[in-house]
Structure 1
Amino acid sequence: MAILRSVRPLDWRQVAAIAAGETLELSADARARIDAAHTLVEQIVVRSIRAYGVNTGVGALCDVVVSQSEQRTLSRNILMSHAVGVGTPLGATETRAIIAAAVNNFAHGHSGIRLEVAERLVALLAADCLPEVPAFGSVGYLSHMAHIALVCIGEGHVRYRGERLSGRDALQRLGLEPLVLEAKEGLSLVNGTPCVTGLAALALARAEGLLDWTDAVAAMSFENLHGQLAAFDAESLAMRVSPGLNLVGSRMRAALADSGILASFVGQRTQDPLSMRTIPHVHGAARDVLTATADVVNRELASITDNPIVAGTPEAPRVYSQAHAVGASIALAMDSLSTAIAQVAAMAERRLDRLVNPLVSGLPAFLAEPGGTCSGFMIAQYTAASLVAQNRRLAAPASLDGGITSGLQEDHLCHATPAALKALEIIDNAGRIVAIELLAAAQAYDLQAVDAARAPHTEALWRRVRGVVATYRDDRPLADDMAAAFRLIADGAPPPLPNPGNLQPPRHDGTDSGAPIVAAGPAGAAANDPRPAAAGAQAGH
């Protein structure tokens, strides 16, 4: 079913759904707003009202006046000079997300493009005829949208039905003519924060799905390592005010309910290692960050991020030149999400290490066949450790990178798009780490000496894994199993938890312990397309 951009702006889930293949349509009122804003630009041109990027140059050339006869040339030239991306192109999902966010921004009705321009982007989405957008070369925005907009004027390249075509050939295949851009349209097409906002929506979708899997896989490891269920006691967890923590505690209780293995080890340890007993605290903190990040992304989608903004009436048009295109808040949010997911993945690697270490697991060394000829999961843990280290490097805040561009005119840079790109890379790395833990936990069940039943939920998880890969006996490259496990995590959700109605954090009325009421956090959803996106380094107008 098509997603309609109407009076309400798109939210991050809708952008992620469009990225995954849903179609986008503009409602009649959205079309009317776009038309009305274009009328304002026409009046600004006719009346020679000074307006950045309409009748002036851009960046450090903002005080250079551009005549009416040169304004079409300015719009075209902006696309040509701003299409400076380098490196591997973004995936189809990433490109669709950016286009969806751009159309959403135009539909606010303050950009001034013609309706025909917005409809051209919608048509590219509908046909899945996607511009080739190099991932690198941005310190803020600009370059990614420039490569997308090139196709609208018959330039650049696209991927269409498995072919790489020129923009002109692609439009011909769709029965469309190249657009001739009018005043301000070139600037509007490269401006604003649709690039980071679209990518951020994808990051949220993938992180949400990953966190569901991480809870499930952590439950498997916890059971294999004979943890103490008291770590997830509802009354105890409710003493810390965190929706995410209490939600994860509920999920862990549901996932491990009726575990015969854990029942056999009740009371045998006073405390489990931190990588086991802080699952609610670390996973829950990440869920709280996810919720806060989602709020920032939705606010960004509800905001007008063009520069300049056109407003007023045809009789009295107004132009606002401001810095709404600078994505400081969303850059900070993406950096925060990156750190949260990196921490969750780092703890997953610590549980993996305990599973393969016979000094603490009570299982065969490295979950391998005995005899010394098999290494089992020894080196897979090396891979996880390497990815944890890579995430640690990537998690350095992009929003603090700084830099100076455009002849000192743009002398503070927030690096919002690179922050989103590296968040996607961290989430991808984290998925691979959790996939290795999933394989090791399934292998540990096969090697358990305890004659007791698994929890029904972890039994379902084990069966899901064994439906994809067999028990490992050093009889095949382990990388193939790791890739299969990653696809399992990336392409869908774990088995549903039992008693889903009980997955709400405990609440206090303030009369028993004086604790405040704890609000419930949102349940997770399946990830969308998990294709990795390269981290990129352009500030903007």
Structure 2
Amino acid sequence: MGSSAGGEHLASAPISGAGGFAVVVQVPAELDPASAALIEVAPELLDRVGAARSSAVEALAAGRAVYGVNTGMGKLSKVRLSEEQQRVHQRNLLLGRAVGGPPWLGRDEARAVLIGRLRTFLTGDAAVSVGLVQQLVALINSGHTPAIPAEGAGSAGEIIPLAHAMAPLVGEGQLLTSGLEVVDAAGVLPPFELGVKEGIALLAGIPGATGRAALQVARVRTLADRLTAVAAAGIAVIGANRDPYHPLAGRADDLLTAELTRIRELAGPEDNPASLQAPVSFRVAGHVIAHERRATQHLDEAVQRAFDGVTDSPAYLNGEFVGTAGFHGLDLTAHCDQLTAALAHAAEVSAARLHRLLDPSVTGLTAQLARDPGPQAGLVAVHKRAVASTHQLRRLTLPTAINTVETSNGQEDVQTFSWEAVGNLAEAIRLTRETTACELLAVRQAFALSPRHLPPGLQGLMDEVDAVVPPINADRPFGLDLTNLLSEVL
């Protein structure tokens, strides 16, 4: 059973419908939004949630004004609500803010949003009931995912996407089927009756962007390993001088040293380099991928700060309700932007190497890697696709938080657009994978035409390629090959 430094965990237990055996043992800070495993929250965590809830209800009974609980929201926060109004207010908060629409998040990202809110509920800051936590777990484990708008979160927090995400808990809203069709959520779960504070809790903070960012961190780490291998393969096939990847060149930077070592080991030795210096796009591979890995690490740290920090407002802290600005999400936004820029640069360098691979003066091979240059065009159009992807990537690199749009009659006069920042990052990952697939296809063809031997460290990667891409002996619709690489290799 896993445990964190604080001894917290998600318990593993036999769960009906899961094959009769335990399906998950996780630390809350390490919840994997990409996993489809069922979740059960440890009893001691539920006890902590229950204790915070009981204390918060007692505090509310004293009659102090608490934003969004016994008052209106935004500019209406000066309006005190009667007990009768409070009974319907929490549900109204949830339903009245579901103003989004398609395109919807994919099912994996939608699940990440739910897990993000569950993770933050377990701190006790939201002061929700054990029943609401269990209802959220039931939704996550149901196999159904809410239809959550991928765009249009124009608010200081995430109230619009979270309203869509959480509506199925009360029997409202829409769900995505496995075929990505939208169906009514009514009847999937017994509708939960929200208690005091619980409606605003479902809309608070930045749990959606945090959960989605955690998912992207996992994806980009896998992508980074592929970037390293593909770059090393290009270095090997053109016979590049290995000096730029000497571990001593990474002095004062352990992460760079590790990346240079990986590239050097994968590419293997080269006793007779084709030239004293390869094109810059090959020589800088270690620095480019090391920076991408560093940016990923920084985002991961920001994700953990968001999970463990205070993002609810009002938050129930040490026996009192405290209005906070944890929904601002600048830390998360800035690091999503940083990683998006790092990926854009990595993709541009990949596209540059691909262009060099088509050049006989660099490779010593046939023009454009065609078997019969002239009658055949080879892979020149593959490079054009990579260029299109990198051009689209550049448009994602504008800093997301640079905007001071006012909403809510001026009550919200700045925002960071963290929802959009993580959406840009997801798109950047997709486009970087496309560019990498283009380079990988060219590298494989270059090895097929080259007298150079494939280094042992790259044999596994090339075997994966060969399993889905037939030998290239003539021009053909290479888009099918790229699709296979994206779905099966990258």
TM-score (normalised: structure 2): 0.91
2:295 aligned with 1:289, yes or no?
Answer: yes
What amino acid sits opposite 1:35 in the alignment? G
Describe how 1:98-137 pairs up with structure 2 within 5 A: 98-137=113-152
2:312 touches 2:327 (CA, 8 Å); kept in 1? yes
CA-CA distance at 1:246 after TM superposition: 0.9
Q: 1:399 aligns with which of 401, 406, 412?
A: 401
Gaps of 5+ in 1: 172-176, 491-541
Cα distance in 1 for partners of 2:309, 2:82 equals 31
- Report what 1:495 is aligned to: none
| Superposed CA offset, 1:88-136 (max 9, x none) | 1111110111111101111101212111111111111112111111211
CA-CA distance at 1:48 after TM superposition: 1.2
Cα distance in 1 for partners of 2:137, 2:400 equals 31
Higher RCO (C-alpha 8 Å, min separation 6): 1
Cα distance in 2 for partners of 1:344, 1:274 equals 13
CA-CA distance at 1:11 after TM superposition: 6.9
- Report what 2:449 is aligned to: 447
What amino acid sits opposite 1:110 in the alignment? D
3-state secondary structure, aligned to 1:322: coil
Cα distance in 1 for partners of 2:166, 2:231 equals 44
- Report what 2:22 is aligned to: none
Q: 1:247 aligns with which of 258, 264, 279?
A: 258
- Report what 1:208 is aligned to: 221
Cα distance in 2 for partners of 1:252, 1:78 equals 53
Q: 2:198 aligns with which of 179, 185, 188?
A: 185
Q: 1:145 aligns with which of 162, 167, 183?
A: 162
1:224 touches 1:445 (CA, 8 Å); kept in 2? yes
Compared CA separation, residues 382 and 11, structure 1 to 2 (3 A): farther
Describe how 1:522-537 pairs up with structure 2 within 5 A: none
CA-CA distance at 1:462 after TM superposition: 2.1
3-state secondary structure, aligned to 2:401: helix
What amino acid sits opposite 2:457 in the alignment? H
Compared CA separation, residues 2 and 169, structure 1 to 2 (3 A): farther
Cα distance in 2 for partners of 1:170, 1:2 equals 32
Gaps of 5+ in 2: 11-25
3-state secondary structure, aligned to 2:139: helix
CA-CA distance at 1:46 after TM superposition: 2.1
2:481 aligned with 1:476, yes or no?
Answer: no
TM-score (normalised: structure 1): 0.83
Cα distance in 1 for partners of 2:130, 2:276 equals 67
1:130 touches 1:159 (CA, 8 Å); kept in 2? yes
CA-CA distance at 1:164 after TM superposition: 4.4
Cα distance in 2 for partners of 1:475, 1:274 equals 29
| Superposed CA offset, 1:425-462 (max 9, x none) | 001100111011111100001111x3x42211223322
| Superposed CA offset, 1:143-166 (max 9, x none) | 221111110111111135657432
What amino acid sits opposite 2:171 in the alignment? G
Cα distance in 2 for partners of 1:366, 1:202 equals 37
Describe how 1:249-268 pairs up with structure 2 within 5 A: 249-257=260-268, 259=269, 262-263=270-271, 265-266=272-273, 268=274
- Report what 1:467 is aligned to: 467
| Superposed CA offset, 1:260-289 (max 9, x none) | xx33x23x5332221111111111111112
CA-CA distance at 1:18 after TM superposition: 3.6
Cα distance in 2 for partners of 1:203, 1:254 equals 27
- Report what 2:279 is aligned to: 273
2:246 aligned with 1:233, yes or no?
Answer: yes
2:296 touches 2:339 (CA, 8 Å); kept in 1? yes
What amino acid sits opposite 2:172 in the alignment? E
2:176 aligned with 1:159, yes or no?
Answer: yes
CA-CA distance at 1:405 after TM superposition: 1.1
2:266 touches 2:458 (CA, 8 Å); kept in 1? yes
Describe how 1:18-167 pairs up with structure 2 within 5 A: 18-139=33-154, 140-160=157-177, 164-167=182-185
| Superposed CA offset, 1:48-90 (max 9, x none) | 1110011011122111111121113111111112112222111
Compared CA separation, residues 81 and 186, structure 1 to 2 (3 A): same
2:153 touches 2:159 (CA, 8 Å); kept in 1? yes
3-state secondary structure, aligned to 1:319: strand
Superposition CA RMSD, Å: 2.1
- Report what 1:310 is aligned to: 316
CA-CA distance at 1:489 after TM superposition: 3.6
- Could you tell which deviates more after superposition, 282-291 or 420-429? 282-291
3-state secondary structure, aligned to 1:170: coil
